[in-house]
Amino acid sequence: MSASTNEELDRLRQRVARRHHWWGWFGLLLFLSLGAFLEGLHGFKVGLYLDPENRLRRELWRLAHAHGTLLALMQLGFAVSVTRFGSWSVRRLKLTSFFLLDAGALIPVGFFLGGAWPSESDPGAGVLLVPVGALLLFSAVALILYSANEPDA
Amino acid sequence: MIASAGLLAVLLVVLLLQLRSALGWWRGLGLVGGGVLLLGGAWGALEWEHRRRPPPPEDQTDARPITSEQCRKCHEGHYQSWHRTYHRSMTREATPANVKADFNDAEHHYLGVTSYLRRTGDRFYLDTIDPRTESAALSQGSSTLRREFTVDRLVGSHWFQQLMTRDADGRYLRLPLAYHLGERRWLHIDGVFLSPDTGRYFSKANVWNETCLYCHNTRPVQNPLSGPEGNAGYDTEVGELGIACEACHGAAERHVRAHRNPASRLAQHYSARADPTIVNPARLPVARADEVCGRCHGGVMPRLEHWNPLTLADPFLAGRELRRFWHVTFSEAEMRQISARQGTKLAVEPRPDHLDGRFWGDGTPLTTALEYLGVKLSACYQDGQGKLSCLTCHSMHHGDPDHQVKDGLRHTNTVCYGCHEKYRERLVEHTHHPANSPGSLCYNCHMPHQVFSLMTTHRSHRIDVPRVKDSLGTGKPHACNLCHLDKSLGWTQEQLGKWYGTRPVPLSDDDKHLASSVLHLLQSDARSRGVVAGAFSWPPAQQASGRDWPGLLLTRFLEHERYQVVRYTAYKALRSLHGFAPGDYNFQGAPAERANQVRALRRALESQTRPEPSRYPYLPLTRTGRFADDALDRLLKSRNDPDVSVNE
């Protein structure tokens, strides 16, 4: 690998790390706030969240909160590790970063939208974002695993 | 749905741009295409799995029953709102969770027989005389043979719990004791229904598989067994005990199969079209929707020529035409004639005769479970072509489970104003009663308590103009006189003439000058006596008629009343008027016991109340405020008291 390619990859690793660092903390702020909002709905015994007929909404919003928070932590973990470990190519790194960021948004947003307008038995159509996000997350994790398995560059 | 599709499209574009930046256009496109194919393929696999199963039978009568627990998986809210209802618990197995009756070593005495009710573990038992030696036990007062019946099944959970025991041939037989949930006491079954005393202990021992099965359960199949000597028992099956989802929504197997696929659920959720795989009564035309209720609230008779003679499965399902499988009849005379002609409907429907156990002489239903017929007879119903439907006022999923009236409709004229808007502004002008009084609630005059069953009175569902002529010779007490108990039919006719210009009809002297309630209680048959005795418990009637005289009349009435349930109704009124304790009078007691109790009640009342005769010009009162014995005796002597039964 030439020196210029190595420099380009290092710069990209730095850029990706900064991007995931920022999105990680932003995601934490957003989805912890969602958690606080849900606690507030509990505190004020808001019917649209707690009534038995809104069971599905409660479940989906809790899933949005949990997935959003955990995926934000995952972004931070990726930001910390990407500059230190693994053997990356520019292409693989870009793909992994995009997939991870997309999954971090699609999964919790899908759960939230699915719970916003559910039917009696099923989430609203917004939940269709979740399987797309899940597919991207699986792909990102597979790419990270593949890169981690190779000796450090 | 459009917003979601838009969101998905934006997502794909963003993804494509990201992939282009990493992999270039062609590879990016290939990867997005691959992802779409992967997700689409997963969706298609679901659809294929759903389609490859054999379809449910065309004739939905034979479709596999779907229970409420299966419906619950998707319809939790509807399941919960239905779960509160007494429809659900109409028939239950006799488990500790379902038994509300007192089985704590309770005793019951009737006709000299002592019965014991006890629980051992999770089983419930009735220990009583053996039916085979009933005659000896009753005539000699001895009961050498006793028998312990297992209570296997319960019918009712709102007013009573009736007990069923299962025999070796699959028959569920009604036991002679029932538990009154309001009074919290055991009753002999003779006192639960309006019918003459049988003098037998094992009376009304109906077979559940033949009678209760079809209206108190969902998707019933009788499955009678035949032996060398005729009926050899039953292998009865139900989709579910009690009235569950499929009773109103039809066979649901097709629906369940179709909606296992999330794609079909999602498509249905965003569709404005009715789901073709299930019946929603709210989306049916009025007449067809009301037939769903009419199946059990219409006193129907099976048209067996359209039934499977081997299984006797009820072929009616919600959404089908009721008359195809059941006769809808408007008198017991008609029912008898149809039976005699083996199911052939008559060209001219006979009117109810004077002993009809289901209809007053003018055709108005006089007992419950005929509400559909009452509504059909109403001008407001427009034969199902108008707006009025059972579902206008009632819902299985909303409102008080007590009568399933929708939220916000009780004690209002809201529903009536839906068509009769002009009365909203002219209410007092029309009713001639203060605006906020019971007399200004439409249903108090147009749907009065002229129906008797379950040991009490209920509103008539024949929405009708209260005409005096409809109460002459028909037995049906007049709506006005069920509130104005101290007034005569003549007084009513005079008021209606003054207010509405109604043309008078000829009345007897007694009808003109004596309170209608007095005439009914002392002269009419037991059907009318039950309804009028019930009116004395109604707070608006007590307010309109005065509370100081009915007790004196009702105690005299109790001395002569031979129907147990009418005695119960009259004593209930006495309790509400004067606060007597339930134990002060045993309406099922022996004659001597009751006579003593009535004497005690009269003594207590005569020291308490002394109505002012001038306030009650239509009551036969002496100057001292007592009912005149000679007037009451004269009326009692001409009492019309044939044996009648109200066939609930």
Q: What are the φ/ψ torsions at residue B617 (nearest 5 degrees)?
A: -65, -20
Our CA-based measurement puts residue A85 at a distance from the nearest CA of chain B, in whole angstroms, of 21
Answer yes or no: do A106 and B39 touch at CB < 8 A.
Answer: no
Average pLDDT of the residues of chain B: 93
Q: Measure the CA–CA gap between B133 and B131, rounded to whole angstroms.
A: 5
Q: Which of A19-28, B20-29, B218-227 has the lowest mean pLDDT?
A: B20-29
* Most distant CA pair in chain A, distance: 63
A·B CB contacts under 8 A: 65
- Chain B residue numbers with beta carbons less than 8 Å from the beta carbon of A89 are none
Which of A120, A126, A136 lies at the smallest CB-CB distance from B74? A120
pLDDT class of A152 with cuts at 50, 70, 90: low
Q: If you average pLDDT over residues B405-424, what whole number do you get?
A: 95
Measured CB to CB, residues of chain B less than 8 Å from chain A are 1, 4, 7-8, 11, 14-15, 18-19, 21-23, 35, 38-39, 42, 73-78, 80, 262, 265-266, 269-270
Task: List all residues 6 or more positions away from B513 whose beta carbon is below 8 Å from its beta carbon.
Answer: B488, B490, B618
pLDDT class of B362 with cuts at 50, 70, 90: very high
pLDDT at site B271: 83
Residue A153 sits at the chain B interface (C-beta within 8 Å): no
Answer yes or no: do A121 and B266 touch at CB < 8 A.
Answer: no
Indicate the burial class of B347 (C-beta count within 10 angstroms; 0-12, 13-18, 19 or more): exposed
**Chain B residue whose CA is closest to A129:** B8
pLDDT class of B633 with cuts at 50, 70, 90: very high
Q: What does the pLDDT look like over B85-119, one tens digit per residue?
A: 999 999 999 999 999 999 999 999 999 999 999 99
CA dist list (Å): B176 to B95, B113, B139 = 19, 12, 18
Answer yes or no: do B21 and A94 touch at CB < 8 A.
Answer: yes
Indicate the burial class of B265 (C-beta count within 10 angstroms; 0-12, 13-18, 19 or more): middle
Residue A51 sits at the chain B interface (C-beta within 8 Å): no
Q: What does the pLDDT look like over B451-481, one tens digit per residue?
A: 999 999 999 999 999 999 999 999 999 999 9
Residue A43 sits at the chain B interface (C-beta within 8 Å): no
Answer yes or no: do A95 and B23 touch at CB < 8 A.
Answer: yes
Neighbours of B273 (CB within 10 A): 8
Q: What does the pLDDT look like over B40-66, one tens digit per residue?
A: 888 788 777 666 666 666 678 889 999
Q: Measure the CA–CA gap between A15 and B202, rounded to whole angstroms.
A: 91
Per the CB < 8 A criterion, the answer to whether B248 and B281 are in contact is yes
pLDDT class of B648 with cuts at 50, 70, 90: confident
ipTM score: 0.78
pLDDT class of B211 with cuts at 50, 70, 90: very high
- Chain A residue numbers with beta carbons less than 8 Å from the beta carbon of B262 are 122
Which of B39, B73, B80 lies at the smallest CB-CB distance from A132? B39
CA dist list (Å): A115 to A137, B224, B317, B397 = 21, 50, 35, 23
pLDDT above 70 coverage of chain B, percent: 97
Per the CB < 8 A criterion, the answer to whether B609 and B478 are in contact is no
- Chain A residue numbers with beta carbons less than 8 Å from the beta carbon of B22 are 91, 94-95, 98
Provide the 8-state DSSP code for B365: B
Interface test with A, best of B7, B255, B268, B275 (most A CBs within 10 A): B7
pLDDT at site B342: 67
**Chain B residue whose CA is closest to A98:** B18
Answer yes or no: do A122 and B23 touch at CB < 8 A.
Answer: no
Q: What does the pLDDT look like over B62-79, one tens digit per residue?
A: 899 999 999 999 998 899
Nearest alpha-carbon partner for B545 in B554, B536, B553: B536
Q: What does the pLDDT look like over A27-64, one tens digit per residue?
A: 999 999 999 999 999 999 999 999 888 889 999 999 99
Per the CB < 8 A criterion, the answer to whether B460 and B365 are in contact is yes
pLDDT at site A2: 60
Residue A63 sits at the chain B interface (C-beta within 8 Å): no
Per the CB < 8 A criterion, the answer to whether B371 and B461 are in contact is yes
Q: If you average pLDDT over residues B537-563, what whole number do you get?
A: 97
Collapsing DSSP to helix, strand or coil, B187 comes out as strand
Instruction: Render A98-111 in DSSP notation, one character per residue.
Output: HHHHHHHHHHHHHH
**Chain B residue whose CA is closest to A121:** B74
Burial B159-184 (b: 16+ CB within 10 A, else e): bbbbbbbbeeeebbbbbbbbbbeeee
Q: If you average pLDDT over residues B588-617, what whole number do you get?
A: 94
Which of B1, B15, B23 lies at the smallest CB-CB distance from A102? B15
pLDDT at site B55: 67
pLDDT at site B273: 86
**Chain B residue whose CA is closest to A92:** B22
Our CA-based measurement puts residue B391 at a distance from the nearest CA of chain A, in whole angstroms, of 21
- Chain A residue numbers with beta carbons less than 8 Å from the beta carbon of B21 are 94, 98
Instruction: Render B203-249 in DSSP notation, one character per residue.
Output: -S--BTTTTGGGTSEES-B--EEEETTEEEEE--B-SEESS-HHHHH
Per the CB < 8 A criterion, the answer to whether B364 and B450 are in contact is yes
Residue A122 sits at the chain B interface (C-beta within 8 Å): yes
Per the CB < 8 A criterion, the answer to whether B217 and B172 are in contact is no
Answer yes or no: do B18 and A98 touch at CB < 8 A.
Answer: yes
- Chain B residue numbers with beta carbons less than 8 Å from the beta carbon of A53 are 76-77, 80
Which of B11, B18, B75 lies at the smallest CB-CB distance from A121? B75
Q: What are the φ/ψ torsions at residue B116 (nearest 5 degrees)?
A: -120, 140
Our CA-based measurement puts residue B316 at a distance from the nearest CA of chain A, in whole angstroms, of 28
Interface test with A, best of B2, B16, B18, B81 (most A CBs within 10 A): B18
Our CA-based measurement puts residue B240 at a distance from the nearest CA of chain A, in whole angstroms, of 22
**Chain A residue whose CA is closest to B12:** A132
- Chain B residue numbers with beta carbons less than 8 Å from the beta carbon of A125 are 1, 4, 266, 269-270
Answer yes or no: do A122 and B7 touch at CB < 8 A.
Answer: no
Provide the 8-state DSSP code for B373: H
Strand partners, B92: B154
- Chain A residue numbers with beta carbons less than 8 Å from the beta carbon of B1 are 125
Which of B11, B73, B76 lies at the smallest CB-CB distance from A55? B76
Look at residue B170 and tell me whether its pLDDT is greater than 80: yes
Q: Measure the CA–CA gap between B600 and B235, rounded to whole angstroms.
A: 53
Interface test with B, best of A58, A112, A121 (most B CBs within 10 A): A121
Beta strands per DSSP E along B321-455: 326-327, 451-453
- Chain B residue numbers with beta carbons less than 8 Å from the beta carbon of A91 are 22-23
Per the CB < 8 A criterion, the answer to whether B142 and B136 are in contact is yes
**Chain B residue whose CA is closest to A126:** B4
pLDDT at site B522: 97
Our CA-based measurement puts residue A43 at a distance from the nearest CA of chain B, in whole angstroms, of 23
Look at residue B517 and tell me whether its pLDDT is greater than 80: yes
Indicate the burial class of B553 (C-beta count within 10 angstroms; 0-12, 13-18, 19 or more): buried
User: Looking at this protein, which amino acid is placed at residue B322?
Assistant: L
Answer yes or no: do A122 and B38 touch at CB < 8 A.
Answer: no
Element (H, E) at B92: strand B91-93
Look at residue B424 and tell me whether its pLDDT is greater than 80: yes
Answer yes or no: do A53 and B76 touch at CB < 8 A.
Answer: yes
Residue A8 sits at the chain B interface (C-beta within 8 Å): no
Q: Measure the CA–CA gap between B520 and B475, rounded to whole angstroms.
A: 8
pLDDT at site A149: 77
CA dist list (Å): B4 to A31, A68, A125, B260 = 22, 20, 6, 22
**Chain A residue whose CA is closest to B36:** A132
- Bigger pLDDT: A110 or B59? A110
Which of B8, B78, B262 lies at the smallest CB-CB distance from A120? B78
Q: What does the pLDDT look like over B244-269, one tens digit per residue?
A: 999 999 999 999 988 888 888 888 88
pLDDT at site B50: 64
pLDDT at site B35: 85
Nearest alpha-carbon partner for B151 in B102, B204, B191: B102
CA dist list (Å): B335 to B302, B356, B406, B648 = 10, 11, 33, 15
Our CA-based measurement puts residue A150 at a distance from the nearest CA of chain B, in whole angstroms, of 20
Q: Measure the CA–CA gap between A133 and A146, rounded to whole angstroms.
A: 20
Task: List all residues 6 or more positions away from B517 whose beta carbon is below 8 Å from its beta carbon.
Answer: B477, B481, B485, B486, B532, B535, B536, B545, B553
Q: If you average pLDDT over residues A102-112, what whole number do you get?
A: 97
Q: Measure the CA–CA gap between B379 and B361, rounded to whole angstroms.
A: 18
pLDDT at site B143: 57
